[in-house]
Structure 1
Amino acid sequence: MSEYFTCAEVAKQYKVKTITVWDWIRKKKMPAIKIGKEYRIRPEDIQAFEKKRETT
């Protein structure tokens, strides 16, 4: 099983607030898995999120 990140960990990585990560998930910009009351994000979903936002 791969490692999952919390919304707080992703927020810290991108230097945004946790609520911003929740918004990305709610707007389907970032895939996540809901476990109980918390969301978890897979590393490959973070990579896909970044790839979609690359500028050329």
Structure 2
Amino acid sequence: MEEYFSPTQISKLFSVSPITVRRWIKRGDLKAFKLSKDIRVRKKDLNNFLEQRRVKK
């Protein structure tokens, strides 16, 4: 079963505001979808977002 996160959950994981997470989504940096009235992010999309921002040595 696939795992999903809300912007609030993601903001707590990364110590940023929910507004920052919504901004990432709005800019297209973080892929998300609406489930009824709620915004959700798939775990694989969150991992892709993190991989894109990983610092390369």
Tell me, yes or no, whether TM beats 0.5: yes
Partner of 2:39, secondary structure, is: strand
Please provide the CA RMSD for this pair. Answer: 0.9
TM (normalized to structure 2)? 0.90
For 1:49, the equivalent position in structure 2 comes to 49
C-alpha distance in 1 between matches for 2:5 and 2:54: 21
Q: Percent identity?
A: 34
C-alpha distance in 2 between matches for 1:4 and 1:53: 20
* Structure 1 stretches lacking a partner, 5+ long: none
TM (normalized to structure 1)? 0.92
The runs of at least 4 consecutive aligned structure 1 residues that moved more than 6 Å come to none
